[in-house]
């Protein structure tokens, strides 16, 4: 066995692990990176990138079907599913060099293409190498959660790890799970010509503000997606091309293909965490506010840490631990400024508290301000007027923002900045947005916060009147 003693060992070359590796190596640390599967992890190969690429194909088809509103001849928008999936693979291949082994070796990272597991609290074995690093970062991510449903082990089904290998378009795709993954793939496949039924045990998009989620659900239903809620699945049966899903209340759903999209599970099975003295919870590795595990030499970041499961969270975690590991400075993780987006059309984005959560915490101190996309001139020009922004404000500072509409994922970034830096509404109102732009919505909702204070305030009117009488 070859023995390595780097400053830092990173297990997993997904978004979080790559961010730590690149930053640490370029700042002078001796870094070893382990990856037993694909560089880039789930996001590049099975998640964020392929799903958004397939959504783009569906959007291109949908635009053709509705071109008449823009004075352009309507086309059938007939999709070639195999070609759309080729587009997906092409996008992955275009981005892959950024996450490649060669690029990271260029940074000075020693990349070992093998899975790692602990053989002691301070040592990890990967293939024929034993690594005893000063600090270890677990960044192994998560995998699709496959529930224990009777019959599921007897029929073919897809997860996000296999879906993008399809070349024949599903005739009727059944999706178990009405969260972001299920909704995005439902709309993409419907626009590409499949019939789609979503089967959700509780509420579809249940983690988002129900008022905004309702706008997305209405659009999907209008496009022909069948959404069945409160449909807890108790049995599946059938074969490829003829699948049946049975709900607890007796509802039966028949389709040609089945996609499981009920959530994620942390990838911890291969690690031998018990040997390392690393505690776990039901949802992942147990960490403190600095992302340290119960083994003080080991950190866990991203999905495997059991918190919010987004690529940008893994990147944020990487920035938190870099400060601690490389410079020995205290650094803690926060969540109130972390946004998330469901990339349906319209998009659904959230940062900070929803209205319901803010009312529960702040009561009468909460002010809720809204602005509709229908009053944004750029949205009108592009016929993207469905949606609105809802802003939660307490004592002049935003504590949450919910957006449904065109480019909601782009708009939400400003409110992450505002919450992260405890900015005041007056600072947002001072911003100048180019006209006409969708981004002006953020400026206008800040104006809506101040409008009643200026235009409905008798004191302001008296002062203005007094000044006008005395100005020469």
CATH number of the domain to which 363 belongs:
3.30.390.30
Domain that holds residue 21: 2-39+100-144+265-327
Report d(CA 421, CA 458) in Å as an integer: 33
DSSP assignment of 253-267 equals: EEESEEEE-S-EEE-
Q: Which of 262, 291, 310 is the last residue of a domain?
A: 262
Same-domain pairing of 192 and 163 = yes
Same-domain pairing of 139 and 8 = yes
What residue ranges in 47-160 does DSSP mark as E strands? 110-112, 117-120, 123-126, 129-131, 135-138, 142-144
Note whether residue 298 is domain-resident: yes
The tens digit of pLDDT for each residue in 107-160 reads 999 999 999 999 999 999 999 999 999 999 999 999 999 999 999 999 999 999
pLDDT number for residue 454:
67
Going by C-alpha positions, the residue among 210, 208, 194 that lies closest to residue 259 is 194
Same-domain pairing of 110 and 130 = yes
Same-domain pairing of 396 and 312 = no
Same-domain pairing of 319 and 357 = no
Note whether residue 206 is domain-resident: yes
Q: Where are the alpha helices (DSSP H) in 71-179?
A: 81-95, 101-106
| Contact assessment for residue 275 and residue 120, using Cβ atoms and an 8 Å cutoff | yes
Note whether residue 360 is domain-resident: yes
- 393 Cβ neighbours under 8 A, 6+ residues apart: 366, 367, 368, 369, 399, 425, 449
Q: Give me the torsion for CA of 410, 413, 414, 420, rounded to 10°.
A: 180
- 386 Cβ neighbours under 8 A, 6+ residues apart: 215, 219, 346, 373, 404, 405, 406
Q: Domain count of the chain?
A: 3
CATH number of the domain to which 172 belongs:
3.50.50.60
Question: At residue 402, what are phi and psi to the nearest 5 degrees?
Answer: -125, 130
Note whether residue 173 is domain-resident: yes
Note whether residue 89 is domain-resident: no
Q: For the chain, first and last CA: distance in Å?
A: 91
- 125 Cβ neighbours under 8 A, 6+ residues apart: 1, 116, 117, 118, 119, 131
Note whether residue 65 is domain-resident: no
Same-domain pairing of 277 and 403 = no
Same-domain pairing of 194 and 275 = no
Note whether residue 95 is domain-resident: no
Classify 130 as helix, strand or coil: strand
Same-domain pairing of 442 and 372 = yes
Report d(CA 464, CA 196) in Å as an integer: 60
Same-domain pairing of 354 and 444 = yes
Tokens found for residue 352: 């900070």
| Contact assessment for residue 217 and residue 249, using Cβ atoms and an 8 Å cutoff | no
Length of the chain: 472
Classify 33 as helix, strand or coil: strand
Going by C-alpha positions, the residue among 341, 299, 295 that lies closest to residue 320 is 299
| Contact assessment for residue 424 and residue 397, using Cβ atoms and an 8 Å cutoff | yes
Taking only the tens of pLDDT, the chain with its 472 residues reads 899 999 999 999 999 999 999 999 999 999 999 999 999 999 999 999 999 999 999 999 999 999 999 999 988 889 999 999 999 999 999 999 999 999 999 999 999 999 999 999 999 999 999 999 999 999 999 999 999 999 999 999 999 999 999 999 999 999 999 999 999 999 999 999 999 999 999 999 999 999 999 999 999 999 999 999 999 999 999 998 999 999 999 999 999 999 999 999 999 999 999 999 999 999 999 999 999 999 999 999 999 999 999 999 999 999 999 999 999 899 999 999 999 999 999 999 999 999 999 999 999 999 999 999 999 999 999 999 999 999 999 999 999 999 999 999 999 999 999 999 999 999 999 999 999 999 999 999 999 999 887 667 777 777 777 788 788 7
What residue ranges in 187-270 does DSSP mark as E strands? 195-199, 226-228, 233-239, 242-247, 252-255, 257-260, 264-266
Same-domain pairing of 242 and 285 = no
In angstroms, the Cα distances linking 207 to 178, 179, 281, 304, 346 are 10, 8, 21, 20, 17
| Contact assessment for residue 151 and residue 25, using Cβ atoms and an 8 Å cutoff | no
**Mean pLDDT, the chain, as a whole number?**
96
In angstroms, the Cα distances linking 367 to 12, 45, 272, 321, 359 are 43, 42, 49, 36, 9
DSSP state at residue 155? S
The tens digit of pLDDT for each residue in 18-67 reads 999 999 999 999 999 999 999 999 999 999 999 999 999 999 999 999 99
Report d(CA 262, CA 266) in Å as an integer: 14
Q: Which of 287, 302, 327 is the last residue of a domain?
A: 327
pLDDT number for residue 471:
80
Q: What number of other Cβ atoms are within 10 A of residue 384's Cβ?
A: 18
Tokens found for residue 188: 């993409």
Same-domain pairing of 253 and 373 = no
| Contact assessment for residue 201 and residue 260, using Cβ atoms and an 8 Å cutoff | no
Same-domain pairing of 379 and 434 = yes
Note whether residue 84 is domain-resident: no
Q: Which of 280, 300, 327 is the last residue of a domain?
A: 327
Going by C-alpha positions, the residue among 323, 320, 331 that lies closest to residue 27 is 323
DSSP state at residue 292? B
HSE (side-chain half, CA atoms, 13 Å) at 472: 0
Report d(CA 37, CA 113) in Å as an integer: 7
């Amino acid at each position: 066995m070859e023995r390595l003693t780097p400053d830092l060992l990173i297990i997993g070359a997904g978004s979080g692990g790559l961010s730590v590796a690149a930053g640490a190596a370029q700042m002078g640390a001796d870094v070893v990176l382990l990856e037993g599967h694909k560089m880039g992890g789930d996001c590049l190969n099975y998640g964020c990138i392929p799903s958004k690429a397939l959504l783009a194909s569906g959007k291109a088809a949908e635009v053709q079907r509705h071109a008449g509103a823009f004075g352009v001849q309507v086309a059938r928008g007939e999709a070639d599913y195999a070609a759309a999936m080729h587009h997906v693979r092409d996008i992955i291949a275009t981005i892959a060099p950024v996450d490649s082994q060669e690029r990271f070796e260029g940074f000075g990272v020693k990349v070992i293409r093998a899975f790692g597991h602990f053989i002691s609290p301070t040592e990890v074995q990967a293939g024929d190498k034993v690594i005893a690093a000063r600090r270890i970062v677990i960044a192994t991510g998560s995998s699709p959660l496959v529930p224990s449903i009777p019959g599921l082990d007897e029929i073919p089904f897809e997860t996000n790890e296999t879906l993008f290998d399809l070349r024949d378009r599903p005739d009727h795709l059944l999706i178990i799970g009405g969260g972001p993954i299920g909704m995005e793939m439902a709309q993409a496949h419907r626009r590409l010509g499949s019939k789609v039924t979503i089967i959700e045990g509780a509420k579809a998009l249940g983690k988002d503000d129900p008022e905004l989620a309702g706008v997305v659900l209405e659009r999907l239903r209008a496009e022909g997606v069948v959404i069945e809620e409160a449909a807890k699945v108790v049995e599946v049966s059938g074969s490829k091309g003829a699948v049946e899903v049975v709900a607890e209340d007796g509802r039966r759903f028949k389709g040609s293909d089945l996609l499981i999209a009920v959530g994620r599970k942390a990838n911890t099975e291969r690690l031998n965490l018990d040997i390392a003295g690393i505690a776990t919870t039901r949802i992942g590795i147990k960490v403190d506010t600095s992302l340290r595990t119960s083994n003080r030499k080991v950190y866990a970041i991203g999905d495997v840490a059991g918190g919010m499961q987004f690529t940008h969270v893994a990147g944020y975690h990487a920035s938190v631990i870099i400060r601690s590991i490389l410079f020995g400075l205290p650094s803690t993780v926060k969540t109130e400024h972390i946004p998330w987006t469901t990339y349906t059309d319209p998009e659904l984005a959230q940062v900070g508290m929803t209205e319901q959560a803010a009312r529960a915490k702040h009561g009468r101190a909460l002010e809720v301000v809204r602005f509709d996309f229908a009053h944004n001139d750029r949205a009108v020009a592009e016929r993207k007027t469905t949606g609105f922004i809802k802003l939660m404000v307490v004592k002049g500072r935003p504590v949450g923002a919910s957006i449904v509409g065109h480019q909601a994922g782009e708009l939400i970034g400003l409110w992450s900045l505002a919450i992260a830096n405890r900015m005041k509404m007056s600072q947002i109102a001072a911003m100048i947005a180019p006209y006409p732009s969708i981004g002006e919505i953020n400026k206008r909702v800040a104006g809506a916060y101040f409008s009643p204070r200026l235009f409905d305030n008798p004191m302001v009117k008296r002062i203005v009147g007094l000044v006008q009488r005395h100005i020469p």
